[in-house]
Amino acid sequence: MIFTTKAEYGVRLLVDLGQAEGGDPVALKAIAERESLPLAYLERIVALLRKAGIVESTRGARGGYLLSRDPSEIRMDEVVAALDGPIAPMSCFIDDSTSDVQKVVCSHHAIDDTGPCGTKLLWTRVHGGVVRALQQTTLADLIAFERGGVAALGARPPVGDELPVVTA
């Protein structure tokens, strides 16, 4: 599964904001320069993050962007959903999350109603693993990792016992 550059750049933007000292607003131009990202694209990304309530903006000479809440309260599933929409490992896979109960529908099965899709089990497991990893990862985790690698995460186990530990 490949996430878009909106998700990649958006997460990088949030990590940068989370590292801001003193809680002062950060100019988007400064983030674009530090992260070597296109300013016009970041403007569109930050608008989506603002709409989702993840960042807030301030106007004026000392204006810019701030996180709307503590980094430990910002989960990556929320960020990816705000930027990329529902997570789907295959084009035929529909994440029908219109209610609190999440269900997965195979688009071709819904159309021809021929019985259970043979691949649904696999894609449901892939989807569940990705969503779980995103839900268990906060912005605070990413900030700590950037500052000090795996050791900065302390006693917190890596997400998913089967996943290898990534070193900086």
Residue of 101 and 47 predicted with greater confidence = 47
Reported CATH class of domain 5-76+138-150:
mainly alpha
CA angle 74, 105, 2 (to 5 degrees): 50
- 110 pLDDT above the threshold of 80: no
The string of pLDDT tens digits covering residues 53-91 is 999 999 888 889 999 999 999 999 999 999 998 777 776
Residue spans per domain, the chain: 5-76+138-150, 86-134
